[in-house]
Structure 1
Amino acid sequence: MGIHQIFLGVDVGKTEHHATAVNHDGNIVHDRPLPQSEPKIQELLKDLSAKHGELLVVVDQPKTIGALVVAVAQHMNVQVAYLPGLTMRRVADLHPGQAKTDARDAYIIAETARTMPHTLRGITMAEEHIAELSMLCGFDDDLAAQLTQVRNRLRGLLTQIHPSLEQVLGPRLAYPAVVDLLGRYPTPAALKRAGKGHVKTRLKKRAPRMATRLTEEIFRALTEQTTVVTGTQAAEHIIGRLAAQLQQLAQQRTDIEAEILLVVDAHPLTQVLTSMPGVGVRTAARILTEVVGKDFKSAAHLASYAGIAPVTRRSGTSIRGETSSRRGNKVLKRVLFLSAFASIKADPASRAYYDKKRAQGKRHNQAILALARRRSDVLFAMLRDGTFYESRSTQLAPAA
């Protein structure tokens, strides 16, 4: 981090932060609230730099509500660092007192930066593409969560009024044809009145290959229940509205994916990332937002940051073994896990490694996690050198 004369810890808030500055000897030279205002932030940074020398600003949240502080400091060429929340809480336990106040947190951030600089993470000047991707991916995550919520609500209603029909349509709510069908015929009675012909014709518009089979399954399920459950009439209006919500949310996700694709395509590392089996548009976008701009010293450092490196547990002779880490960047961990799972079908080398781990007695999730750890080493090398993915089976292939 270099030699700094003043360390400014900022406990960020929505409308007001708390800023505490300590000098190189550990004396507090500033301790007061800091408004979420560019002029006020600039004024404080200029004043501290002029009076005390080189300044290091440390925040506990570099994004969302802390983004303005970071941006102003970077614009003024003041070095900025980030103290992870979990590290901060552990360091806080070493300080006397049990109070949880903004002033105490800001002091702990500043003092940790002074005494334990190795706990800090650097923050580089954010790329415009990465900032855009971060916002788009965040909105995409929100839409995905809403889709899941609406689908679960819809499945709950179908289970309440006709369990057999839910068993046919519920697992297929990700298909646009099924959602469209429920929007047009939202109850068992409506489906019966429409008849097989109309239902099959409706399904064929969006899912021609599954229309015949699904129609037969639907009407087979309808024959298994003749009792009309109380509340079915009210459910008709709710199911129709939920189906319309699903269509709107799905369309929004499609639109957002197109925007993400435009931004991802413009980034120089995109072709490198997508050359790896199991890495598509959304996966590449998430890797870019979570990895680019961070300084990883080694592949092991990246794996540890992602939470996919095994944790060794030993205590004498009673406790020995390795377990999966519960820490790390959960977004990146999920992306690497799902990417490894997708690669099993796309890459023979990944499949061979997965089968090897299964043969060693590992469960499915353990084998996938081990594969994700192996692939993170390759990913680190690809990002470091800007090289494309090359399958190990290709590397070992005999020359023609």
Structure 2
Amino acid sequence: MIYIGIDISKYNHDCFIATETSVSFSFENNSSGFKELLEHFKPFNKSEMIIGLEATGHYGDNLKSFLSSHGFSFMEINPLLVKKFSDSKSLRKLKTDKKDAKLISEYMMTVDYKAYHHQSYHISALKSLTRERSKLISFRTAQYNMITKTLDIIFPEFNPFMKEQGYSDTSLYILSYFKSPDKIAKMTDLHYDKIRKKSMGKFSYPKFMKLKELAKETIGTSQDYHLDRLSTSISYVEKLNTDIKVIESRITELMKKYPTYFGSIKGIGTLTEAIILAEYGNISLYDSPSQMVSYAGLDSTIKQSGTMSTTGKLVKRGSKYLRSALINITLILMVNNPLFYAYYHKKKQEGKHHRVAQVNLAKKLIRVIHHLETTKTYFDSSLLK
């Protein structure tokens, strides 16, 4: 077998081909560099090539796509594993890109080769979409907080009255169109008709009249710069809402091509299913659920010395997007699945804190997901133990 290690970086990649006359070279992260790589690969049979490269974010996406399109299989490696492998070989701290490429090729000789799945190029696109959505939601939350801070000054009665998590299209319409409590207090029945249509009939007339009364009696103070700041934040939120809807539509369309078995678990929606699939990739590559738990950073630190052994906080390595999705979905799982609900309360009765019980439930979900995907079976709650 021909073991090949590729160290990924932004502008140049380093490659080491372990043969009787080993070859080490650098190539640019562009078309001419990729063609140069192909020239070095020409003497070898594809079936005998074991290619490994570090998982280093988006810098290697184009190379992975190029290799896949030319019929080469390869395996992505966690950089932490390569570092530990390096530490085990020498106590000297010597790190260069060329040395890393050689280390990757040597590491590939010590592990079972699990090639990048043929769907992975599309899974990578799905990962980009789900992560972009997560970032946009974070930006939107920041703007929500800005709107709340401003309303606390100019109209502090608004949020307690509306009782919303975030800001609905109806609230945004009222705040952007009327801007100040004075104008809200002077709304007419014609304005109510527009608001009612915006809310699809959910905003009642008594609620409309109560909002006018609160605006008239507000203790808030309105300055022009407060109103300008409110208007700016609302325009940002409206743009973000549009962008998020577009991304969610693309995610939904992409997921139609890659249905999963774990998507049959009641409570897991398409967007959460997409995050889990995008972050894990081909679940059949994981030998056990414990590997999936570690990848999500849901395993605990263990400190052992002599006769003492303690477990600490979550290691929180791996994908923060995956970890967040798995923990957040536990609340919905409990509502929709009695056995997940019973498992959570079993952990609570053992004296575990709510958050700890949630993490335990997330781990159980991972075990279920691994079983469903490796056995290619749909979820059946009657078989859950």
Give the Å deviation of 1:171. Answer: 5.0
Q: Deviations over 1:142-168 (max 9, x none)?
A: 321221222122223223444444555
Whether 1:68 and 2:62 are equivalent positions in the alignment is yes
Q: Deviations over 1:111-154 (max 9, x none)?
A: 14314643987422335642442333233223212212221222
SS of corresponding position for 1:50? coil
Match in the other structure for 2:273: 284
Distance 1:68 1:382 in 2: 32
Change (3 A) 1:331 1:64: same
Work out which of the residue numbers 275, 278, 296 in structure 1 matches 2:264: 275
Tell me the TM-score normalised to structure 1 length: 0.81
Distance 2:238 2:140 in 1: 9
% same residue = 18
Q: Deviations over 1:191-232 (max 9, x none)?
A: 23337x577555433444454575577456546654635xx2
SS of corresponding position for 1:389? coil
Distance 1:61 1:12 in 2: 11
Distance 1:320 1:395 in 2: 30
SS of corresponding position for 2:187? helix
Match in the other structure for 1:80: 74
Asked if structure 2 preserves the Cα contact closer than 8 Å seen for 1:58 and 1:80, the reply is: yes
Match in the other structure for 1:245: 236
Where does the alignment leave 5 or more consecutive residues of structure 1 unmatched?
Answer: none
Change (3 A) 1:99 1:105: same
Distance 1:285 1:215 in 2: 39
Match in the other structure for 2:99: 107
- The CA RMSD over aligned residues, in Å, is 3.4
Asked if structure 2 preserves the Cα contact closer than 8 Å seen for 1:178 and 1:203, the reply is: no
Give the Å deviation of 1:55. Answer: 4.2
Match in the other structure for 1:23: 18
The residue identity in structure 2 corresponding to 1:242 is S
Distance 1:284 1:310 in 2: 25
Change (3 A) 1:44 1:24: same
Distance 2:43 2:281 in 1: 33
Dislocated runs of 4+, deviation >6 Å:
none
Whether 1:374 and 2:364 are equivalent positions in the alignment is yes
The residue identity in structure 2 corresponding to 1:321 is T
Distance 1:227 1:72 in 2: 60
Distance 2:313 2:307 in 1: 17
| Residue range with higher mean Cα deviation, 371-380 or 183-192 | 183-192
Q: Deviations over 1:262-307 (max 9, x none)?
A: 22123232xx333202210101111221223350112222222222
Distance 2:253 2:13 in 1: 39
Tell me the TM-score normalised to structure 2 length: 0.84
Distance 1:59 1:282 in 2: 29
SS of corresponding position for 2:282? coil
Whether 1:343 and 2:336 are equivalent positions in the alignment is no
Asked if structure 2 preserves the Cα contact closer than 8 Å seen for 1:45 and 1:73, the reply is: no
Match in the other structure for 2:5: 8
Give the Å deviation of 1:349. Answer: 1.0
SS of corresponding position for 2:186? helix
Distance 2:73 2:269 in 1: 35
Give the Å deviation of 1:45. Answer: 3.7
Change (3 A) 1:233 1:255: same
Give the Å deviation of 1:343. Answer: 0.7
Give the Å deviation of 1:395. Answer: 7.0
SS of corresponding position for 1:320? strand
The residue identity in structure 1 corresponding to 2:14 is A
Asked if structure 1 preserves the Cα contact closer than 8 Å seen for 2:75 and 2:115, the reply is: yes
Change (3 A) 1:204 1:114: same
Whether 1:297 and 2:292 are equivalent positions in the alignment is no
SS of corresponding position for 2:311? strand
Work out which of the residue numbers 131, 134, 151 in structure 2 matches 1:138: 131
Asked if structure 2 preserves the Cα contact closer than 8 Å seen for 1:199 and 1:215, the reply is: no
